[in-house]
Amino acid sequence: MDIAPAWLDQARCSTLKEDVAGIFFSDKVADIAKAKAVCSTCPVLAPCLQGALEREEPCGVWGGQLFSDGRIMSSKRNRGRPCKNVKPGDSALPVVHVPEYLREKVSAVTISHTNERVVEKVAA
């Protein structure tokens, strides 16, 4: 049985009137950006992110970070064939502050896309 953490009632996503699953588990860059914006002002961002790291969340936005297969994705593009004319901001996601004590864990599981090849960043 899964028991919700005590901080969940304070999470911004739990107070939204709309269906949050639609933006927090979307493949659309615009939805992911909205979810990250919600997280950016959340008072319980740190425990949310820490829990997602511990659970190796398979997908979604948790603690202001986009997870995919238990890894944090630093960027995302929409599904389908890439556009020939990329507009500024098409794949840019807002950067959400990571608490100091979680930075090493986050950098160890962050994947960034460079020239369509996946490169893993390893904590120094």
Which residues neighbour 45 within 8 Å (Cβ) at sequence distance 6 or greater? 39, 63, 64, 96, 97, 99
Taking only the tens place, the pLDDT of each residue in 39-90 is: 999 999 999 999 999 999 999 999 999 998 888 887 776 666 666 665 555 5
Residue 35 φ then ψ, to 5°: -65, -45
Question: Is the pLDDT higher at 61 or at 17?
Answer: 61
For residues 99 and 46, the answer to whether their CB atoms sit within 8 Å is yes
DSSP state letter for 110: E
Q: Does the pTM of the predicted model rise above 0.85?
A: no
